[in-house]
């Protein structure tokens, strides 16, 4: 477990958490939507803009050369963090949504045809549903969905039945953004590979709390977003095997991604640059690199997971003891996210009351409407924990629930 001293040191690294909201200490429980930022990330981005900002790759002057070096260093940091074989396997995108859209538009349109099957799950965020639905509309690709069990875990018996020789891709979340359910990726990927299918993993939540070693996972695509990993918005990553990337045609055209342009013929660069048309998110990429530096220096994944599990367990127990509270995931493998409802109170009303108490949570369908339909509810309240949360935050969450119950009794 994380010591109280280390936890305080980490929390102090995130300046926004020292504020008051409506006169109350901030209790930030919405890291699944977007995490707070450590000072090192804020400083790295400000330093670049204050000292030697310039566009990358094309300038021969000092500012551009230095910025280009730092930008590509960020790509190398991502590659090392994911244990990719090469930084050439790292494509910078705006976020995980764009990363998955890129895979669907470039790989999907090139290698899928009418009748080919893409296997999804009921746990998916819309970002890992809608891009594949486009291919259903445009190409006649068949989408199939693995249901969940009553516990919130994936129904792996159904997965086994739905996975056939027609399955060309399995697109699956590493960890549900709405329930915290952790999917059995090792089993899923092994079975998919045995059936001849490729595997895309949405690691937006998983990379923060679980291993993101792409070689160990043995997936074919891995997408994540920087703003959940203590980095800035506007920067995400698509990792894919280099041979897959270089077999994919680009889907956006412009500067940077070309080798030569004439009015009669255009040739494209190798990956990753063929997928990075135009001026990239320079400051944001360097901010992501700083966030990775912070994680590697300050956060031990096993220690952080144990800390977050203790918070989740304590929060579940406190809310269950109050009564009239329904917790929506009992999956054996779950992490850092507590999705709940209170009898006869709309989730948005709960979140509004919480805000007056300085408690930040998310209320809604969490961009997972098929999952909400499977659960038979329109929305939940989601409290999500990060490495900087404490048992005091758990207690404030419980106090908030008690306040709501009194107000709406």
The Cβ of residue 58 has, within 10 Å, a number of other Cβ atoms equal to 11
pLDDT of residue 261 exceeding 90, the answer is yes
**HSE of 100, CA atoms in CB hemisphere, 13 A:** 30
Arithmetic mean of pLDDT, 83-108: 98
pLDDT of residue 166 exceeding 80, the answer is yes
What are 274-285's pLDDT values in tens digits?
999 999 999 999
Residues 6 or more apart whose CB falls under 8 angstroms from that of 301 comprise 209, 210, 211
What are 285-304's pLDDT values in tens digits?
999 999 999 999 999 999 99
- pLDDT at residue number 225: 98
pLDDT of residue 22 exceeding 80, the answer is yes
Compute the chain's Rg from CA coordinates: 22
Q: Rounded mean pLDDT of the chain? A: 97
- pLDDT at residue number 154: 97
Structural domains for the chain = 4-30+300-407 (3.90.1150.10), 43-297 (3.40.640.10)
Q: Say how far apart CA 110 and CA 345 lie, in whole Å.
A: 48
- pLDDT at residue number 191: 98
Read off the pLDDT band of 211 (50, 70, 90): confident
The Cβ of residue 235 has, within 10 Å, a number of other Cβ atoms equal to 27
Positions annotated as catalytic residues are 367
- pLDDT at residue number 380: 98
């Amino acid at each position: 477990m994380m010591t109280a001293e280390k936890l305080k040191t980490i929390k102090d690294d995130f300046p926004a958490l020292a504020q008051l909201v409506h006169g109350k200490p901030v209790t930030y429980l919405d890291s699944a939507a977007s995490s707070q930022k450590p000072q090192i990330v804020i400083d790295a981005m400000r330093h670049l803009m204050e000292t030697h900002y310039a566009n990358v790759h094309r300038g021969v002057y000092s500012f551009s050369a230095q910025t280009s070096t730092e930008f590509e260093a960020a790509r190398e940091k991502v590659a090392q963090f994911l244990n990719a074989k090469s930084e050439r396997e790292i494509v910078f995108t705006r976020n995980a949504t764009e990363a998955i859209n890129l895979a669907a538009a470039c790989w999907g349109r090139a290698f899928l045809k009418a009748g080919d099957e893409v296997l999804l799950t009921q746990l998916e965020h819309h970002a890992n549903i809608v891009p594949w639905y486009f291919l259903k509309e445009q190409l006649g690709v068949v989408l199939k969905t693995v249901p969940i069990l009553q516990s919130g875990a994936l129904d792996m018996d159904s997965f086994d039945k739905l996975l056939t020789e027609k399955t060309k891709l399995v697109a699956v979340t590493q960890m549900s953004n709405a329930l915290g359910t952790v999917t059995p990726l090792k089993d899923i990927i092994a079975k998919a590979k045995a059936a001849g299918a490729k595997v895309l993993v949405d690691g937006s939540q998983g990379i923060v709390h679980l291993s993101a070693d792409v070689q160990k996972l043995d997936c074919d695509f891995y997408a994540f977003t920087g703003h959940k990993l203590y980095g800035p918005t506007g920067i995400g990553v698509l990792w894919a095997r280099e041979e897959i990337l270089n077999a994919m045609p680009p889907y956006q055209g412009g500067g940077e991604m070309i080798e030569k342009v004439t009015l009669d013929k255009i040739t494209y660069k190798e990956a990753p640059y063929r997928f990075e048309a135009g001026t990239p998110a320079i400051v944001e990429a360097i901010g992501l690199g700083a966030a990775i530096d912070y994680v590697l220096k300050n956060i031990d994944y096993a220690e952080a997971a144990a800390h977050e599990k203790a918070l989740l367990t304590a929060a579940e127990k406190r809310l269950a003891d109050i009564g009239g509270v329904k917790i929506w995931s009992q999956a054996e493998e779950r992490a850092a996210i507590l999705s709940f409802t209170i009898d006869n109170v709309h989730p948005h009303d709960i979140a509004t009351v919480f805000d007056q108490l300085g408690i930040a949570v998310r209320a809604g369908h969490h961009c997972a409407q098929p999952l909400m339909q499977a659960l038979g509810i329109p929305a939940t309240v989601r409290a999500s924990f990060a490495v900087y949360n404490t048992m005091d935050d758990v207690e404030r969450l419980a106090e908030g629930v008690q306040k709501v119950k009194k107000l709406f009794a």
